[in-house]
C-alpha cells in the first residue's frame, strides 16, 4: 500500500514539474536570440552531421503541445518578414535581376530565386549547401529524401514522388507530404539545416511538423536552395523545363576515390549497395555526364557543373562564379562563412572542419592501392569523362607529383 502511494505521489510530482517546465518554456520569439551561441552550435552541427545520414542517432523525443496560439504564429511570420527585409536592406537586388525584394517574394506575387544542388553522398554538398545558406533571406530545403534512406532514385517508381515533392516544396506547398513530416519527427536533422526555420522549431518542434506553417514561412523568403543526394540529374529535366519554377541546378561531382574514402567512415553506407559499390557510383557519374551534356545544350543558363576539388582548391573564386550563375550577389555573410570555413582555425574545432587544399586528396594517403586499382578498373570511363587521372601504382599514388585532377569538358 505504502509503495503504491509513493508511486502515485512520485507520478504526481513528476507531472507537475513537467507542466511547470512547459509553462516556463512557452514559446518566445527569437529575434533577440544570441547569435554567438547560435553560430557556435551551428559550427558543431556542421562538423558532426554530414549529409544527414546519422539515421539512428538523431532521434530526439519531442514535447508536443496540443495547440499553439494563432496570434503567436502571425507575430512570428510578421517578425520573420521584417527580419528578412532588415538583413537584405543593403543588398543590391539588381544582381538578382529585379528591382526590389517584393519581386522575389511568393507572398507578394513575386518569383524567388531557386537553386537545387544535385549530387551524391559524401561529395561536398554539406559545405556547398552551407555556403548558399549563408545568404541572408535563404530558405534551405535540406535534403528532402532522407525518408527514402540509402538508395539512389534513377527512375520509376520512386521518381514520381521525388519530383512532385521537389516541385511542391519549391512552391512552398507542403500539403500531402505526411511521409516527410513523419520522418522528420524522428529525425530532426531533416529540419536542422534549414537554420532560419529551425531558429523557431528548436523552441516549438511541432512548428516544423506543420505543413501549413512551413508553407507560409517559406513564402516569405526571396531565395530558396535545396540539395538532393539521391536523385540523378537525368530526372531533373522535368524540374528544369518548368518555366514557372525557373530553377537553376548545380551538379556537384567528386573524384570517386575521394567519395569512397569518405564513405568508408559512415555506418549508414555499408549495408546499401548504392552507397558501397564503386561500380554503381561510377555508373551514376556516367549517366550524370550524359545528362549534363544534353541539359546544358537545352538549358545553357540553368545548369552548372562543378567538381568538388575545384571548390576546395579555390573556394572564394568558385563561390563567386557560382553566385553569379545563380543570380546572387556576394554578401558579407557569405564572405564570413568562407573565411571561417576555409582558412581560419576555429577554436576547439578539429582541422577536419576546414575545407582546404589537402582535404580532397586525403584518399591518396589513406586508401590501399589494391582497392584503388580495383575501383579504377570499374570507374575508368567515369574518371576519364570527369577529368580524374588514374594512379599507376602505390608509389605513384602517394607521390606529391601525382595530380589526380585534369582538364575536362562536358560534351554537348
Task: Determine contact, residues 211/105, Cβ cutoff 8 Å.
Answer: no
Nearest Cα to Cα of residue 357 among 402, 407, 314, 403: 314
- Please report where in the chains the cell 511568393 appears, as a residue: 106
- What's the min distance (Å) between Cβ of 396 and ligand NAG? 4
Residue 247 belongs to what H/E stretch? strand 247-253
Question: Could you say which of 297, 336, 380, 392 contacts ligand NAG (CB under 6 A)?
Answer: 392
The three-state secondary structure class of 128 is helix
- Asked if residues 311 and 357 have their Cβ atoms less than 8 Å apart, the reply is no
Separation of alpha carbons 117 and 82, rounded Å: 28
Which C-beta is closer to ligand NAG: that of 74 or that of 345?
Answer: 74
User: Closest separation between CB of residue 401 and ligand NAG, Å?
Assistant: 9
Shortest Å, Cβ 68 to ligand NAG: 16
Site for ligand NAG in 43-82 (CB under 6 A): 74-75, 78, 82
Which residues lie closer than 8 Å to 42 by C-beta, 6 or more apart? 195
Tell me whether residue 100 or residue 392 sits nearer to ligand NAG (CB atom). Answer: 392
Q: For every residue of 349-374, which 3-state class applies, written as one string?
A: CCHHHCCCCCHHHCHHHHCCHHHHHH
Q: Which of residues 277-336 bind ligand NAG (CB under 6 A)?
A: none
The verdict on 86 binding ligand NAG (CB under 6 A) reads no
* Of residues 14 and 82, the one with the C-beta less far from ligand NAG: 82
Name the minimum Å distance from CB 267 to ligand NAG.
35
Closest residue by Cα to residue 166 from 84, 249, 254: 249
- Closer to ligand NAG by Cβ: residue 74 or 94: 74
Three-state SS at 376:
helix
Minimum separation from the CB atom of position 198 to ligand NAG (A): 22
Distance CA 291, CA 251 (A): 10
Taking the complex as a whole, how short is the minimal distance between the CB of residue 72 and ligand NAG, in angstroms? 11
- In angstroms, the CA 354 to CA 384 distance is 29
In the complex, what is the shortest distance from the CB of residue 197 to ligand NAG, in angstroms, rounded to a whole number? 19
Question: Residues 241-260: x/- map of binding to ligand NAG (CB under 6 A)?
Answer: --------------------
Instruction: Classify residue 278 as left (phi > 0), alpha (psi -120 to 50) or beta.
Output: alpha
Cβ proximity to ligand NAG, 141 vs 200, nearer residue: 200
- Residues in the interface with ligand NAG (CB under 6 A) total 8
Q: Using CB under 6 A, pick the residue from 178, 395, 406, 412 that binds ligand NAG.
A: 395
Residue 225, helix vs strand vs coil: strand
x-or-dash string of contact with ligand NAG, 120-159, rule CB under 6 A: ----------------------------------------
∠ CA 82-83-89 to the nearest 5 degrees?
90
CB 282, min distance to ligand NAG, A: 22
For ligand NAG, the binding residue among 164, 298, 352, 393 (CB under 6 A) is: 393
Binding site for ligand NAG (CB under 6 A): 74-75, 78, 82, 392-393, 395-396
Amino acid at each position: 500500500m505504502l509503495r503504491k502511494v509513493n508511486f502515485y505521489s512520485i507520478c504526481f510530482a513528476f507531472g507537475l514539474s513537467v507542466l511547470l517546465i512547459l509553462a516556463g518554456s512557452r514559446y518566445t520569439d527569437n529575434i533577440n536570440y544570441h547569435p554567438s551561441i547560435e553560430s557556435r552550435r551551428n559550427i558543431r552541427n556542421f562538423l558532426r552531421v554530414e549529409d544527414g545520414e546519422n539515421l539512428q542517432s538523431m532521434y530526439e523525443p519531442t514535447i508536443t503541445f496540443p495547440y499553439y496560439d494563432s496570434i503567436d504564429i502571425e507575430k512570428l511570420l510578421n517578425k520573420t518578414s521584417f527580419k528578412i527585409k532588415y538583413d537584405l536592406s543593403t543588398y543590391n537586388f539588381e544582381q538578382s535581376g529585379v528591382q526590389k525584394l517584393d519581386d522575389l517574394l511568393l507572398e507578394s506575387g513575386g518569383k524567388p530565386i531557386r537553386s537545387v544542388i544535385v549530387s551524391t553522398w559524401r561529395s561536398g554538398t554539406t559545405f556547398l549547401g552551407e555556403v548558399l545558406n549563408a545568404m541572408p533571406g535563404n530558405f534551405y530545403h535540406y535534403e528532402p529524401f532522407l525518408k527514402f534512406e540509402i538508395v539512389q532514385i534513377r527512375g520509376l517508381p520512386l521518381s514520381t514522388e521525388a519530383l512532385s515533392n521537389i516541385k511542391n516544396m519549391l512552391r512552398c506547398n507542403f500539403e500531402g507530404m505526411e511521409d516527410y513530416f513523419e520522418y522528420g519527427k524522428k529525425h530532426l536533422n531533416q529540419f536542422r539545416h534549414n537554420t532560419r526555420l529551425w531558429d523557431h522549431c528548436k523552441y516549438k518542434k511541432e512548428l516544423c511538423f506543420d505543413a501549413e506553417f512551413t508553407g507560409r514561412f517559406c513564402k516569405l523568403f526571396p531565395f530558396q536552395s535545396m540539395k538532393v543526394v539521391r536523385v540523378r540529374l537525368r530526372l531533373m529535366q522535368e524540374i528544369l523545363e518548368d518555366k514557372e519554377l525557373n530553377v537553376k541546378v548545380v551538379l556537384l561531382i567528386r573524384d570517386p576515390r575521394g567519395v569512397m574514402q569518405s564513405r568508408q567512415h559512415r555506418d549508414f553506407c555499408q549495408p546499401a549497395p548504392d552507397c558501397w559499390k564503386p561500380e554503381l557510383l561510377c555508373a551514376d557519374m556516367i549517366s550524370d555526364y550524359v545528362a549534363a551534356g544534353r541539359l546544358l545544350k537545352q538549358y545553357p543558363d540553368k545548369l552548372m557543373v562543378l567538381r568538388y576539388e575545384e571548390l576546395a582548391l579555390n573556394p572564394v573564386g568558385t563561390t563567386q562564379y557560382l553566385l553569379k550563375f545563380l543570380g546572387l550577389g556576394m554578401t558579407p555573410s557569405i564572405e564570413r562563412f568562407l573565411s571561417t570555413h576555409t582558412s581560419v582555425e576555429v577554436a576547439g574545432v578539429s582541422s577536419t572542419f576546414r575545407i582546404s587544399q589537402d582535404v580532397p586528396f586525403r584518399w591518396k594517403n589513406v586508401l590501399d592501392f589494391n582497392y584503388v586499382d580495383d575501383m579504377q578498373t570499374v570507374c575508368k570511363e567515369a574518371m576519364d569523362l570527369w577529368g580524374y587521372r588514374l594512379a599507376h601504382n602505390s608509389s605513384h599514388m602517394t607521390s606529391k607529383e601525382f595530380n589526380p585532377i585534369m582538364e575536362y569538358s562536358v560534351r554537348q
